């Protein structure tokens, strides 16, 4: 594994922690000797990517905030999608999230919480494997063959190729209790002009509020919102 990949692992470990992480815990999490981890953390600290806190503890550095702001300024998707997401959330009275594909995972890059106390909690930056949940199945359906095989390797209960092809054809997917008992979701694809899935736009909430009977209306609204976002991206 390259130094760059190990650096990314360290950033993930620090980013998902509740507070500063000691050197030994970082080394254990990334499966590296303490001495090598210490050298790499030192280099990342010199670059401002991580910060030292106390004796042998580390957190993320402020340079990542700068990089995040730069990424947001250059990637239009989130800024373009959020107005449509708010309108969709108000129309269906449920939470709406935006997920982008990243290898065999999907990353939540934006969210609009619904009005109910009982609702899904998906933090921006959350990564989940493709193939489970409405958004996960949808993005897997649009993935290439190699990514499909990697995503389902060693996984049980993943969709068949026939199901994925059907999802790709209709541009939406649904799930009931796949990621969490009592949670239902629908997702629609936001596509590029060449037909790739740039993202999955998802509506999710308690299954008690989202019976199957609501599916057709939610799917219609999801597809319309996805098309609005596509047109806005094309116009930009």
Model confidence over 211-222: pLDDT tens digits? 999 999 999 999
Model confidence at 88, pLDDT cuts 50, 70, 90, reads very high
Q: Does residue 151 register a pLDDT over 60?
A: yes
Mean local confidence (pLDDT), 62-77: 68
DSSP per-residue string spanning the chain: --HHHHHHHHHHHHHHSSS-EEHHHHHHHHT--HHHHHHHHHHHHHTTSEEE-SSSEEEE-THHHHHHHHHHHH-HHHHHHHHHHHHHHHHHTSEEEEEEEETTEEEEEEEE--SSSS-----TT-EEETTSHHHHHHHHHHS-HHHHHHHHTT-SSPPPHHHHHHHHHHTEEEEESSSSTTEEEEEEEEE-TTS-EEEEEEEEEETTTS-GGGHHHHHHHHHHHHHHHHHHHHH-
- Residue 36 clears pLDDT 80, i.e. is over it: yes
The confidence score (pLDDT) of residue 37 equals: 92
* pLDDT greater than 70 at residue 170: yes
**Among 162, 139, 144, residue whose Cα is nearest residue 226:** 139
Which pLDDT belongs to residue 56?
Answer: 83
Return the pLDDT at 3.
85
Q: pTM (2 decimals)?
A: 0.71
Predicted confidence band of residue 236 (pLDDT cuts 50, 70, 90) = low
Looking at residue 72, its pLDDT comes to: 60
Mean pLDDT computed over 204-208: 93
Q: Is the pLDDT of residue 91 over 90?
A: yes
Listed by start position, the domains of the chain span 3-66, 75-235
Average pLDDT, the chain: 89
Q: In this predicted structure, what is the pLDDT of residue 29? A: 92
Options 2.40.50.140, 3.40.50.300, 1.10.10.10, 3.20.20.370; CATH for 3-66 is 1.10.10.10
- List, as one string, the DSSP characters of 8-25: HHHHHHHHHSSS-EEHHH
Residue reference for tokens 């199945």: 137
Same fold, 3-66 and 75-235: no
Question: In the CATH scheme, what is the code of domain 75-235?
Answer: 3.30.450.40
pLDDT at 53: 81
pLDDT at 176 over 90: yes
pLDDT of 70 reads 58
pLDDT at 73 over 60: no
């Amino acid at each position: 594994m390259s130094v760059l990949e190990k650096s990314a692992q360290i950033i993930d470990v620090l980013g998902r922690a509740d507070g500063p992480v000691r050197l030994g815990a970082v080394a254990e999490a990334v499966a590296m000797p303490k001495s090598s981890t210490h050298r790499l953390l030192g280099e990342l600290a010199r670059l401002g990517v991580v910060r030292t806190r106390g004796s042998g503890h580390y957190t993320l550095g402020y340079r990542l905030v700068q990089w995040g702001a730069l990424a947001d300024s250059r990637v239009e998707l989130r800024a373009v999608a959020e107005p449509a997401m708010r309108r969709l959330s108000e129309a269906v009275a449920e939470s709406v999230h935006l997920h982008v594909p990243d290898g065999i995972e999907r990353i939540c890059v934006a969210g609009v919480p619904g009005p109910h106390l009982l609702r899904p909690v998906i933090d921006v930056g959350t990564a989940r494997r493709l193939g489970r949940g409405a958004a996960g199945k949808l993005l897997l359906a649009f993935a290439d063959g190699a990514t499909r095989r990697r995503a389902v390797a060693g996984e049980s209960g993943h969709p068949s190729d026939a199901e994925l092809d059907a999802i790709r054809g209709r541009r939406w997917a649904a799930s009931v209790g796949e990621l969490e008992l009592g949670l239902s979701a629908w997702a629609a694809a936001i596509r590029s002009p060449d037909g790739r899935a740039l993202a999955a736009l998802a509506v999710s909430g308690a299954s008690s509020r989202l019976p199957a009977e609501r599916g057709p209306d939610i799917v219609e609204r999801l597809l319309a919102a996805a098309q609005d976002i596509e047109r806005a991206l094309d116009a930009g």
